[in-house]
Amino acid sequence: MQHLIQVIKQKKELKDISDDFVKDHLIKYQTKHNIKILPTNPKSKDFKIIVKDIRAELRKVYGLFRNKDNAKLRNELIQQPNQKNIHLQILQTHASTKERLPFYKDLYTEIFKITKKPKTILDLGCGINPFSIPFMKIKPIYHAYDINEEEITNINQYFQKNNIKGKAELLDISKTTKLKLLPKSDLAFLFKVSAILDQGKGHKKTEEVIDATPAKYVVVSFPTLTMSGKPMTAPRRSWMEWLCKRRNWDYNIIEFKNEIYYVLKK
């Protein structure tokens, strides 16, 4: 299996995914297609089909968000001796965080008005959002999780250089048994990951993940612009509101130009 994993990862855009994440996809694939023994010969038809199918799945859940050159640039910025304001340059290198630059400060002010200033934060499917900590104007202990090895390394280096307490770790956040074991925190972020978790199959996974997250407050965010950049006609996620009512979770909505945030209290 290890060989298959390495072959699957031999694509620029997939190379930084954690081995465990690829392995899980392989195991699911094996069960789904009732494959007793995985092929080992890279030249065989079966081997090639599996590589192709798993790569396609990974690209769907993961590859879309990657931009190699930008990851390299982020790493170069982190190595700079003068760290002042490098977070601003880093946040500009990813679409989701770049869009938030005009309102990051207000976003955290609004969130903390509801949750009070947190001492500990979990950032699930964090991407490069941890570089926005300077906008919080507080010094929380920050635990960040993602499946991207390179980003996790970058964040840890940044934390060390800038005396930010906390750590970034590789974790597939869809694994709720592991989620439950994360450090108990005041607040958790699930920014723009719900659709990735649900994969167009209802919203059960998002519910499970919110449920398993060991934090009293969970902020779940969604884009409010369409792929072509036009504002959505219905930016609110009514399913989210029904879910909160069904589960008896209080919620507040914070809305900015490109993104809507549900602040849930469990």
Which residues would be at the binding site for ligand SAM (CB under 6 A)?
61-62, 65, 96-97, 125-127, 129, 145-148, 172-174, 191-193, 196
Q: Considering beta carbons, is residue 39 or 170 the nearer one to ligand SAM? A: 170
What is the distance between the alpha carbons of residues 230 and 260, in angstroms, rounded to a whole number?
A: 15
Smallest distance from ligand SAM to CB 197, Å: 7
Q: Are 258 and 225 in contact (CB under 8 A)?
A: yes
Place of tokens 């969130």: 111
What is the distance between the alpha carbons of residues 129 and 149, in angstroms, rounded to a whole number?
A: 15
Q: Considering beta carbons, is residue 129 or 185 the nearer one to ligand SAM? A: 129
Smallest distance from ligand SAM to CB 130, Å: 9
DSSP string, 78-125: HH-S--TTHHHHHHTTSHHHHHHTTTHHHHHHHHHHHH---SEEEEET
Smallest distance from ligand SAM to CB 165, Å: 20
Q: Considering beta carbons, is residue 39 or 63 the nearer one to ligand SAM? A: 63
Smallest distance from ligand SAM to CB 62, Å: 6
Q: Considering beta carbons, is residue 98 or 245 the nearer one to ligand SAM? A: 98
Who's near 38: CB < 8 A, 6+ residues apart? 1, 4, 26, 30, 50
Kind and range of the H or E run holding 55: helix 45-61
Q: How many CB atoms lie within 10 A of CB 129?
A: 23
- φ/ψ of residue 145, rounded to 5: -135, 140
Smallest distance from ligand SAM to CB 81, Å: 27
Q: Considering beta carbons, is residue 40 or 67 the nearer one to ligand SAM? A: 67
Q: Considering beta carbons, is residue 47 or 75 the nearer one to ligand SAM? A: 75
Smallest distance from ligand SAM to CB 44, Å: 30
